[in-house]
Structure 1
Amino acid sequence: MEFIKHDDPLAISFVRAVKTGNLDALRRLLNEVPGLASKRAIDNKGGSRTTLHVVTDWPGYYPNGPVIVKMLIDAGADPNGSATGGTFSETPLHWAASSDDVDVAAALIDGGANIEVSGGQLVVATAHHWTMQ
């Protein structure tokens, strides 16, 4: 597993591309940096998160979120990768659910996210209805 510091210019460019929904910039980064989709960002407290956590981070609803999820999974991101450093080991699906981002949650499930995963409090989207599990 490869880590990249949260303040590395690559991480900053990646987060900017995700949060603005800039598909061209994201595509370019994924092409220029093999394995970028499977890297983890590490913060100054030692916690880490996956590239898919960036897409699902609060408040969610980033432009092109579902398309970005698919791009990252196609490029090697693990839809079941957990965040570490917090109280719970939460997957991107946990984070999408906590932001009520149904479209991104659906894209994660379509990409192989496990809705039965333990850790955190998982809320599953069924159409536009959330169910606590």
Structure 2
Amino acid sequence: MPAAAEWQLQPSRQQRRLNAITAIALCLFALLTVPLLLPVALLLSVLLFWPGTKVTRLGVDASGWWLDQGAGRQYVEWRAGSIRRRYLVLLNWSWRPWESVIIRADSVRCEDDFRRLKAALYQSWH
């Protein structure tokens, strides 16, 4: 067993400098980002509630997948980023984020229609 020892501790000057530099950096970061983050937050809020694409019908035939936005059929190819989940399907047909459609189980007439849609998507994605 080592002999008993006791040390008087004092604040470290190097740690004080690091704490001061960190505090100044955090204050500057907050001062610079708050004015920038507010417009970004407002823009994201507007985009979040902006009416997206209104797809009224979606289907597949011998020519491929199509969707109807009120102006007739538009044939599309599903792009990377399309998602299939148990109660959600997100389909992207363009590189633009607003050219996508979110389909939930309650977006179609009945749950069986949703299952059939997912089954058709699974077959076309393999």
Q: TM-score range by the shorter chain?
A: under 0.3
Identify the structure with the greater strand proportion. 2
Structure 2 length-normalised TM: 0.26
Bigger RCO (CA 8 Å, 6+ sep): 1
